[in-house]
């Protein structure tokens, strides 16, 4: 299916996001975590540079999950029976998302921990 214009391409992209949010558990979880992280970032007063890294990680992890989902669905469409090779492909795709999510988590700790410690110090300063 060839798109005719930019608006149609954007429409299909939004439909894909909607489909994923409706049917794909991991993407729902990642979107919820992303919203929480962004809100927490505003509460803790992250810098523009820190938000840049947060948004880059969010974009990479969710995009990888979209690729993973698309590949899994394509394979499921063409291969109904179990295949060790298909399992390996799916596991590798899943591993790619996991690696990105792991490093996003570590980066999140490095970004948020100093802000959380400072926030807690101000709360318990008078105690």
Are 115 and 44 within 8 A, CB to CB?
yes
pLDDT surpasses 70 at 88:
yes
pLDDT > 70 in the chain, percent = 97
CATH number of the domain that residue 68 is part of: 1.10.287.3610
In a domain, 21, yes or no: yes
Q: How confident is the model at residue 35, as a pLDDT?
A: 98
In a domain, 85, yes or no: yes
pLDDT > 90 in the chain, percent = 91
* CA contacts within 13 A on the Cβ side of 124: 6
Are 54 and 46 within 8 A, CB to CB?
yes
Return the minimum-mean-pLDDT range out of 51-55, 60-64, 123-127: 123-127
Structural domain including 31 reads 6-124
pLDDT surpasses 80 at 1:
no
Instruction: For residue 39, give the 3-state DSSP assignment.
Output: helix
In a domain, 49, yes or no: yes
In a domain, 1, yes or no: no
Number of folded domains that form the chain: 1
Q: How confident is the model at residue 4, as a pLDDT?
A: 78
Six-digit token pair at 20? 């994923």
């Amino acid at each position: 299916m060839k798109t005719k214009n930019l608006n149609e391409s954007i429409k299909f992209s939004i439909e894909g996001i909607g489909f994923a949010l409706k049917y794909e558990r991991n993407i729902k979880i990642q979107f919820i975590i992303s919203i929480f992280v962004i809100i927490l970032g505003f509460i803790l007063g992250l810098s523009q540079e820190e938000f840049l890294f947060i948004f880059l990680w969010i974009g990479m992890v969710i995009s990888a999950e979209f690729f993973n989902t698309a590949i899994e669905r394509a394979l499921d469409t063409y291969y109904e029976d179990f295949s060790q090779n298909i399992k390996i492909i799916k596991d590798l795709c899943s591993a790619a998302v996991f690696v990105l999510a792991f490093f996003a988590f570590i980066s999140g700790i490095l970004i948020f921990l100093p802000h959380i410690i400072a926030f807690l110090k101000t709360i318990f300063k008078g105690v």
